[in-house]
């Protein structure tokens, strides 16, 4: 594959639309269930599935037309035993998995995945030793309010509120680690780890780990490219008033301000408001008290050391410093901190492969770095994410209702909701064209919770609501001619436990069968002998429409993937041009040959309507 402007092409010059899903694992295979004790003994061998099952999983994905996979791996999986100690057994397993993907015609991009920094701070990603290196006692993260994890709530026999985990971005541990990782040299220049600035230490170990991983995998032909970091976060960077909550996606559970979190981590007694968020809005419903220190003996808060606050006289107070400016100049996390990291990562990874794509991300549904054609990394793809926030956080879906995530205003009516989904994706595509050097786009994550609407579908087996939601999302993707990978495919998902991570249940595959298939299994042009212009699909009527401008020099056919069920009735192929068509039901393809024709082509396929499939 290669890139020219905003399109991705195959070796014959055909324009590709990459479609697939996310595959991987955030938690170890052993010990299982994954505790937060003895982190050095963790093993990810067997994740995302046992080697002996890989053939069946990849063959299944390919049969669904999912030939491009976002394969996510964590820093912890590679380097959990300590700095520079790589898990070679896991990397050998990973190599074997990728060889099986190649055998089944699956391309992948390797995604260095994290959520809220680490398993020890409520998510996944970084090894525990990254926290220990700044002096954190990882056994006290919960008792000090520095993080809330599923494991600690389970120990206290407390339920896990839906979508609690993202709130850890605003708690002390994750926010501090991200700030040190991206901006330690700017905001805590004298804070050192093993003699290096915290930023240099953390970034160098991160890059070295993934560079070693890619070195072990560099001859795997299935790999199309590498990501830089999943959903990077600014931490405290950008905060202007440390006494208040800023840059907060959602308020849920105990939510300290940065200053309160800093003093709590240093052992001061604090009272933290407990929030509840629902359709009625955000409100305080109680108070949580913390009064124990987070740091081991001989260590202290890096932000106290850097002069953001002090406790002279025994009373903590802010100094007036903030994370919003340096020497009076306002900072941009995306351009001043994230962009240099991505450039550094790209340069180092290019030492392993000059041709591989680099998939870059900004803040999810937030600030993105600006690039020009001159300074954008070579072969870069903007792998942005998008979710229907109202459905994701409420775990409910109504076709006639959603919420504009930027304005927080409700949207009523199915047509208006569909238009909003399309326009929201178009904004990201337009930004990429104007501000990122017109590189290609990939919607790296989107999806919905399958346990929504009070898990009703698990009892009835009726996934029509889910199918409607997913169909609306894919309609928006088609309208923008986007490459996409849905979140996610969890091989060991079961209805009772979901994806086995933070109460999430977004897998399109569960209990050894697909879920809501009629929402995401649909026709699309895999490879076009020309330039795509317009794409639409009506699953109810079975009408598929595709417009493209042909390239008469390309001999290979345009390939349209059509699921076998929609070929049940021999489809009609209609074009406004003298293209030769061929249907291969076994391969689930409709082929269109240009035969030297140059011009705009409208292709219409009358496929089997949904109602016929359900009979």
Name residue 371's beta-bridge partners: 436
Are 264 and 288 in contact by the 8 Å Cβ rule? The answer is no
Residue whose pair of structure tokens reads 């919960």 in the numeric block: 142
Pairing of strands 19-24, 483-489: parallel
Are 65 and 588 in contact by the 8 Å Cβ rule? The answer is yes
Residue 101 belongs to what H/E stretch? helix 88-103
Catalytic residue among 79, 231, 361, 467: 231
The vertex-391 CA angle with 389 and 395, nearest 5°, equals 125
Chain centroid to CA 197: 29
C-alpha–C-alpha distance, residues 420 and 418, integer Å: 5
For residue 544, how many other CB atoms are within 10 A of its CB?
A: 26
The token duo for 357 is 């794509």
Integer-rounded Cα radius of gyration of the chain: 25
- 580 as an active site residue: the answer is no
Name residue 582's beta-bridge partners: 591
Q: DSSP labels for 184-245? A: HHHH-TT-EETTEEHHHHHHHHHHHHHHHHHHHHTT-TTEEEEES-SS---TTTT-S-TTS-
C-alpha–C-alpha distance, residues 217 and 108, integer Å: 12
Catalytic residue among 79, 150, 445, 467: 445
C-alpha–C-alpha distance, residues 312 and 43, integer Å: 46
- 132 as an active site residue: the answer is no
Chain centroid to CA 9: 24
Three-state secondary-structure class, residue 342: helix
Contacts of 556 (CB under 8 A, 6+ apart): 12, 13, 14, 527, 529
Are 199 and 181 in contact by the 8 Å Cβ rule? The answer is yes
> With the CA atoms of 162, 132, 272 and 241 taken in that order, what torsion angle do they form, in degrees rounded to the nearest 10?
-100
Task: Give the neighbor-by-neighbor strand order of the sheet with 572-575.
Answer: 530-538, 543-550, 600-606, 572-575
Residue whose pair of structure tokens reads 């990978």 in the numeric block: 485
The token duo for 306 is 């850097």
Are 124 and 26 in contact by the 8 Å Cβ rule? The answer is yes
Residue numbers annotated as active site:
231, 445
């Amino acid at each position: 594959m290669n890139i020219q402007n905003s399109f991705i092409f195959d070796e014959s010059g055909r324009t590709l639309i990459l479609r697939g899903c996310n595959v991987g694992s955030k938690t170890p295979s052993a010990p299982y269930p994954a505790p937060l004790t003895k982190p050095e003994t963790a093993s990810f061998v067997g994740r995302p599935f046992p080697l002996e099952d890989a053939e069946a999983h990849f063959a299944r994905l390919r049969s669904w037309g999912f030939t491009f996979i976002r394969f996510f791996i964590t820093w912890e999986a590679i380097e959990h035993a300590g700095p520079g100690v790589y898990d070679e057994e896991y990397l050998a397993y990973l190599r074997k998995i990728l060889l099986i993907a190649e055998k089944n015609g699956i391309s992948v991009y390797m995604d260095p995945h994290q959520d809220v920094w680490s398993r020890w701070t409520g998510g996944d990603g970084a090894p525990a030793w990254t926290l220990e290196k700044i002096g954190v006692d990882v056994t006290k993260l919960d008792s000090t309010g520095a993080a809330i994890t599923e494991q600690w709530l389970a120990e206290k026999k407390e339920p896990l509120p839906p979508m609690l985990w993202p709130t850890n971005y605003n708690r002390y541990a994750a926010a501090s680690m991200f700030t040190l990782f991206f901006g330690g040299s700017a905001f805590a220049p004298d804070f050192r780890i093993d003699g290096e600035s915290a930023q240099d230490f953390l970034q160098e170990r991160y890059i070295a780990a993934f560079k070693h991983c890619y070195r072990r995998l560099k001859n795997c032909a299935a790999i199309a490219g590498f990501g830089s970091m999943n959903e990077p976060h600014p931490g405290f960077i950008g905060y202007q008033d440390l006494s208040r909550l800023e840059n907060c996606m959602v308020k849920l559970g105990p939510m300290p301000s940065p200053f309160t979190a800093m003093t709590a981590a240093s052992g001061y007694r604090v009272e933290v408001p407990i929030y509840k968020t629902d359709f009625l809005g955000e409100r305080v419903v109680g108070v949580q008290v913390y009064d124990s220190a987070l740091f081991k003996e001989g260590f202290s808060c890096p932000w106290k050391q850097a002069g953001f606050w002090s406790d002279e006289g025994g009373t903590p107070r802010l100094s007036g410093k903030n994370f919003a400016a340096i020497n009076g100049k306002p900072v941009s996390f995306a351009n001043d901190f994230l962009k240099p990291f991505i450039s550094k990562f790209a340069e180092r990874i290019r030492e392993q492969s000059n041709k591989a794509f680099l998939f870059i991300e900004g803040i999810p549904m937030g600030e993105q770095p600006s690039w020009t054609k001159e300074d954008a990394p070579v072969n870069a793809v903007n792998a942005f994410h998008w979710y229907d926030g109202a459905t994701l956080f409420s775990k409910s879906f109504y076709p006639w209702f959603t919420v504009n995530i930027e304005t927080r205003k409700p949207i009523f009516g199915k047509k208006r909701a569909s238009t909003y989904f399309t326009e929201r994706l178009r904004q990201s595509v337009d930004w990429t064209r104007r501000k990122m050097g017109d590189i290609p786009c990939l919607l790296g994550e989107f999806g919905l919770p399958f346990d929504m609407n009070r898990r009703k579908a698990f009892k009835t087996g009726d996934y029509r609501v889910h199918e409607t939601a997913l169909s609306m999302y894919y309609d928006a993707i088609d309208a923008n001619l986007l490459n996409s990978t849905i979140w996610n495919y969890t091989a060991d998902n079961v209805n009772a436990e979901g994806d086995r991570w933070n109460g999430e249940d977004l897998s399109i595959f569960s209990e050894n069968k697909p879920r809501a298939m009629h929402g995401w299994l649909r026709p699309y042009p895999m490879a076009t002998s020309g330039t795509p212009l317009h794409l639409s699909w009506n699953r109810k009527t079975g009408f598929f429409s595709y417009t493209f401008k042909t390239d008469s020099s390309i001999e290979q056919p345009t390939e349209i993937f059509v699921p076998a069920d929609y070929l049940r009735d021999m489809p009609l192929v209609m074009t406004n041009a003298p293209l030769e068509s061929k249907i291969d039901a076994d391969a689930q393809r409709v082929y269109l040959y240009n035969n030297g024709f140059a011009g705009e082509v409208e292709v219409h396929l009358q496929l089997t309507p949904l109602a016929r499939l359900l009979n």
